[in-house]
Structure 1
Amino acid sequence: MTTPLELTARSSSGVYFARGPPEFKEIENVPKVNSKSCRIILFSSEGKYFAFTNGPQINIMNTDNWKTIATIENTKAYDLAFSPLGTFLMSWEPFTVSNANPQGSPNLHIYKTATGELIKSFTHKKQTNWKPQWSSDEELFSKMQNTDIVFYENLNFDKIVARVNCHKVLSYGLSPNVGTYFLICHTPGTPGQPSFGRLFKYPNFDSPQAIANKSFFQADKLDVKWNSKGNNALLLTSTEVDKTGGSYYGKQGLHFMGVNGQTNLITLSKEGPIYSVEWSPKNQEFCVVYGFTPAKATIFNLKSEPVFELGTGAKNCVYYNPQGNLLLLGGFGNLQGMVEVWDAANRKKVGSCIASDTTLLQWAPNGEQFMTATTAPRLRISNGYKIWHYSGSLLFEKPWVSGEELYDVAWKNHPKNTFKDPVISGKKVEGIEPSAPVASTQAYRPPSARNKPAVNFKLHDDEEAPHKPGQDGNLSKASLKQKKRREAKKAQKDESEPIGPGVKSNVQVNLTGDPELDKKLKNIKKKLDAIEKLKEQQSQGKPLEVNQLAKLKGEADLIKELQQLQV
């Protein structure tokens, strides 16, 4: 029997429950959730449970029959999170104090999902890093406590069994392993000193026990991205402000760290911001989208070596399907909504489309379709969601009612290995035409240029076609033309350089230690060396230009000036 695909949407009118392909209709026998105060919708990692807020309530549903199994009253939940196996639901509320309660009340709550029973409450004043981190088997529970990390075992939330307190921790990432656990901590540096990313094996947290250390001089923030095996991680460092003025987005860096102690700086072949980084679910590679426009996408192996260049273009995000055999590149936000889908193993593009005004994208659990949505508050008009086939065909669209706003859409999750790897075909499936008119892709031509041959050009000369690293044969025509232009310019410069690069004047310069004076002395020495090269050219019979002859006549004046400066 085929496992059905289902999804939910949160809007200004409540929660909407629908079926995915091939049915595309509302789920029957689900009570309507009409609410203007639904803030969050969330599935557990395996999709068994669905939680949403409705004003002061948290509702928990069993997705097998979409029946409500628990209602938690009188909450001010601002955010929700499930534990890895869905056993617990956690909520965070804004921390408040009052005259009657100057110390404030605990605002991080842990509930038993199946019953809604409150198990434990903690105080976590800021929303930053509020979500506790679990091991995949839920045997280890950890959370931030000021600048420490505290650990609990065997679902006993009353006894702290380990603590990271030898470092001032700003953030951390717990590996998703089972049985053996690893931790990467971000310790900010003092002014003039680097920040550190340190890898530890639980529960050995002393500095000499670190498996790996990585220092960063520009790292106000550190995002840790573990692969699904939990044996390798990517560390994305960032600063809010690029002090060099080179980027509006601040400064980013990307590093690799393995539990075997291996660390690498990932060298990117184009300058500019790092927009998106994702691990393949197959754990053998990762993809990075980076660089000034047109951005570049590159696939790296576990040695941090580039193995395939996906070319440049209007892209700023990357998504692997859950099975890891399809890779989607998109260009959203201030870009037109370009989507490319690649066969990840064979490095071949198998689909493309334009998904304009997309603010959200998510692969379906079966890995064959993906959903795009236009949501508020980013965009308050033309809200709705669309479902596409990986080949680029539009299968279904759900425009939202005029006057209402769509806030969020989410596929129901499924346990791992529920769906097999989709069979990839280069054939485009039959789809539907979009209801909204598609904007013309033709460039405007003034009346004087009409009925004349079109002039083809590219906005960026450094655009690249997909290719393996080191292969120029797959570069685009524009890129090859630009490369030849650079080489010709370099050759022309080399020809204009005076021969005899090792020729220098016999004049000696003694530096004084005064920066301004030494700068003048070095400039004069440089000019005298150039004159000596010109004299060498002249002795070999090469005719000199008028300006070069003028330089020769000025040699005596330069020597006199040098002598005066060295007095």
Structure 2
Amino acid sequence: AGGASGGAGGAGGAAPTVDTSGPRGGPLQFLVRNRTTVKVFDLPTREAPTEAVEYDAIAPEGEQTLGQYSSDGALLALVDADGVTVVDADSGEQRARLERAGVQAVHFSPGNSFLVTWHRMKEASTGSARDQGNLMVWRLADGGSVAVRFFQKALSRADWPTMQWSDDESIAVRCVNNEAHFYDGKAPDAGIATKLRLKGVGKVSLSPGDAPYHVLAFVPPAKGKPSWVKMFRYPELDESAVVASKSFFNAPTVHLEWSPNGSAVVIETRSDLSSATYVGESKPYLMSVDGSVNQAIPLDNGGPVQDVKWSPKGDEFALIAGPVPPSAKIYTAKGEVAHDFGRASRCKACWSPGGRYLVLAGFDNMAGEIDFWDRVKKKKLGSNENSGTVSFGWSPDGRTFMAASLHPRLTVDNEVKLFTYYGAGPIIAVQDPELWQCEMRPAPKGAWRDTAPSPKAAREAYAKAVKDVVSAPVKKMGVYRPRGGASFVSQMMNADKAKVAESNSMGGKAFQISGNRKVVGHAGPVGMAPPEAPKSGAAAAARRGKKKEAKRAAAEAAAAEAAA
């Protein structure tokens, strides 16, 4: 690997020794995409604790509009204007090429046998579903042939993917009008294997984990009737075989959060805006697949539900709910409170892949504060902040946490920051004037073993060493320029033209990387053209002067002709 990298040197002395005591279980990388280019970087290592090195094996040509890893991190789908290229995430070798323009969403099946894509419907609406349709299932083993395709008018990010597989790919399911269609997951082109018929069904969800698999069906309210959910054990899909059910009033939509082992599901009902809160009402319910638990989860301060996330171990979940500041608690799979974190301005929960560490953060419209907790010892290891965070997540080894501010939520100061599992940092900052995507590369289940935190003295020493490394503040990527930047106010804002020119020249070096907020990535990625420099106020004034002079000359010529 090579390319642009962060630096660890500075006036503070030698670089600290990075805390990476967890066992090695595969590559640790993260993906970043700006307006045109996808890049992959290696996470910091023990030898280079404040460096993020560009991974040269993944260097796609042309412009990409999306990058998506498979669930095990083995494959990477790169979307461009003309189609999708699937590559090996380690070697960069092409595995399949899907020729389909305008793809807006992709999804790998759990075993990487298939890739689902969606594009806007442009074809005629006649003919069989097998030779037309904008929801396409591609077979990857033979380089990217179309297995089957369907019609789907709209794309809902909340309900994507609309074609789901069981973890072993033995079952595939898709929801249509008044029915759920089930397929042989390894051969979806063989046709519908069985159906679940429910009038008005709006969503179906297949449980993760091992067989037997369970199906949860949601029917929204209609004609004054309440909405409800019903759970079935596949393949017993008759009304008489319902495992559990529950009805809800004022719940036109639901969010379903399955435990990773498929033993239970949290059902979050969501209503329209109410007089009590501008975000609407939401209530959590817990339902187990064996029917032993089917109840509302009591909330001390009421709703709304801010976030709910199951532990990767599947035995408990974190729930943040209530008016600001909401309360955060951990519940067991039976719905009992296991730990109460109290109330604070936190709206997001994120477990480390091993379930040892838990981040509670105040993203979205909150200030961006981040708390790092050790779930086993029930202790807060540290805190930090990153306002404007849109994308966030853990590295597979559970030792690094990523937080990124992206377009279109923020149109300035786009940046990806990496923190330690106890809140030290940021140890790395990747900057670009226009970042659109950032995500950690996943790893196969069990590739990394959960590890305990380092001694407190070692953590504090590392956090101090990271700060001592800094010898210069971050240089901004460029000054803010409103449209029509040649206005009088704009010229006053940018009076120091020398500094502006220097800042703009930095702005052309896309994907700048800083070691603990020190900019050292002075060279942009290969093949990435710098953005066009904005036109200066002086040049605009000169153009206006020429136009006025031309108008004056024309007027004088017209007057002379009239006098003659």
Query: Shorter chain as normaliser: what TM range?
Result: 0.7 to 0.9
Equivalent in the alignment of 1:422: 451
Letter in 1 for 2:237: F
Q: Which runs of 5+ in 1 are unaligned?
A: 439-567
Q: How does 1:519-534 map to 2 (within 5 A)?
A: none
How is 1:45-444 mapped onto 2 (pairs within 5 angstroms)? 45-97=71-123, 105-114=132-141, 115-128=143-156, 129=159, 131-157=162-188, 158-242=190-274, 245-261=275-291, 262-401=293-432, 404-425=433-454, 426=456, 427-428=459-460, 429-430=462-463, 431-432=466-467, 435-436=473-474
Measured in 2, the distance between the counterparts of 1:44 and 1:64 equals 12
8 Å Cα contact 1:91/1:108 also seen in 2: yes
Rate the CA distance shift 1:249–1:45 in 2: closer, same or farther, 3 A.
Answer: same
Matched, 1:7 2:34: no
Q: How many residues align?
A: 433
Supply the distance in 2 between the matched residues of 1:413 and 1:99 (Cα, whole angstroms).
38
- Corresponding residue for 2:43? 20
Please say if residues 57 and 90 of structure 2, whose CA atoms lie closer than 8 Å, have aligned partners that are also in contact: no
- Structure 1 residues 74 and 167, CA, compared in 2 at 3 Å: closer, same or farther? closer
- Distance, in Å, in 2 between the alignment partners of 1:46 and 1:363 is 14
C-alpha separation in 2, matches of 1:338 and 1:282: 26
Q: Structure 1 69/136 Cα, relative in aligned 2: closer, same or farther at 3 Å?
A: same
**Deviation per residue, 1:408-434 (Å, 9 max, x gap):** 111111111111112224433332459
Cα drift, residue 101 of structure 1: 8.9
SS at match of 2:245: strand
The one-letter amino acid of 2:84's match is I
Cα pair 2:177 2:200 within 8 Å, conserved: no
SS across alignment from 2:427: strand
Q: Name the CA shift for 1:28/1:274 in 2 (closer, same or farther; >3 Å).
A: closer
Per-residue displacement from partner, 1:494-548 (whole Å, max 9, x unpaired)?
xxxxxxxxxxxxxxxxxxxxxxxxxxxxxxxxxxxxxxxxxxxxxxxxxxxxxxx
Indicate how the Cα distance of structure 1 residues 98 and 201 shifts in structure 2: closer, same or farther if over 3 A, else same: closer
Q: Which amino acid aligns with 1:297?
A: A
Paired with 1:76 and 1:370, the residues of 2 have a C-alpha distance of: 33
Q: 1:20 to 1:167 in 2, by over 3 A?
A: same
The one-letter code sitting in structure 2 at the alignment partner of 1:17 is V
Which secondary structure does the structure 2 equivalent of 1:161 belong to? strand
Question: 3-state DSSP class of the match of 1:208?
Answer: helix
Structure 1 counterpart of 2:290, which letter? N
Question: Structure 1, residues 460-517: CA drift from partner, whole Å, max 9, x if none?
Answer: xxxxxxxxxxxxxxxxxxxxxxxxxxxxxxxxxxxxxxxxxxxxxxxxxxxxxxxxxx
Residues in 2 aligned to 1:395 and 1:248: alpha-carbon distance in whole angstroms: 34
Q: Is residue 329–residue 341 contact of structure 2 (8 Å, CA) maintained in 1?
A: yes
Q: Distance in 1 between matches of 2:126 and 2:114?
A: 31
Whether contact under 8 Å (2:210, 2:261) holds in the other structure is: no
Q: Deviations over 1:92-128 (max 9, x none)?
A: 1112355999999311111123422222212222223
TM superposition shift of 1:151: 0.3
1:241 Cα offset (Å): 2.2
What is the identity, as a one-letter code, of the residue corresponding to 1:107? Answer: N
Give the TM-score taking structure 2 as reference length.
0.73
Q: Is the 8 A contact 1:80 1:91 kept in 2?
A: yes
Find the residue that maps to 1:33 and give its secondary structure: coil
SS at match of 1:78: strand
Greater relative contact order structure (CA < 8 Å, 6+ sep)? 2
Return closer, same or farther for 1:167/1:16 CA change in 2, 3 Å cut-off: same
Q: TM-score, normalised by structure 1?
A: 0.72
Q: Distance in 2 between matches of 1:313 and 1:28?
A: 39
2:167 aligns to what SS in structure 1?
A: coil
Give the gaps of 5 or more residues in structure 2: 1-22, 477-564
Tell me by how many angstroms 1:395 deviates. Answer: 4.7
Amino acid of the structure 2 residue aligned with 1:292: P
- Of structures 1 and 2, the larger Rg is shown by 1
Structure 1 distance, partners of 2:139, 2:208, is: 21
1:28 deviates by: 4.5
The whole-number CA distance in structure 2 between the counterparts of 1:140 and 1:363 is: 30
Q: Quote how far apart the aligned CAs of 1:437 are.
A: 9.8
Distance 1:154 1:406, change over 3 A: closer
Shift of 1:34: 5.4
d(CA) in 1 for partners of 2:127 and 2:229? Answer: 39
How far apart are residue 399 of structure 1 and its match? 3.8
In structure 2, what is the equivalent of residue 549 of structure 1? none
Partner Cα separation in structure 1 for residue 58 and residue 368 of structure 2: 35
Task: Please say which of residues 24-33 and 49-58 is displaced more in the overlay.
Answer: 24-33
**Does the 8 Å CA contact 1:382/1:399 hold for their aligned counterparts?**
no
Change (3 A) 1:297 1:28: closer
Q: Which consecutive segments of 4 or more residues in structure 1 shift more than 6 A?
A: 99-104
Rounded Cα–Cα distance in structure 2 between residues aligned with 1:66 and 1:437 = 33
Q: Which moved more, 1:40-49 or 1:347-356?
A: 347-356
CA deviation map 1:284-331 (0-9, x unaligned): 211111111111101111221222210111111100100001111000
* 1:152-209 superposed Cα distances (whole Å, 9 cap, x missing partner): 1252322211111133211121001333110111012223321111111112222221
Does structure 1 residue 40 correspond to structure 2 residue 57?
no
User: CA RMSD for the aligned pairs?
Assistant: 2.3
Q: CA separation of 1:102/1:29 partners in 2, compared to 1, >3 Å: closer, same or farther? A: closer
- Percent of pairs with identical residues: 26
Return the letter of the residue paired with 2:452.
V
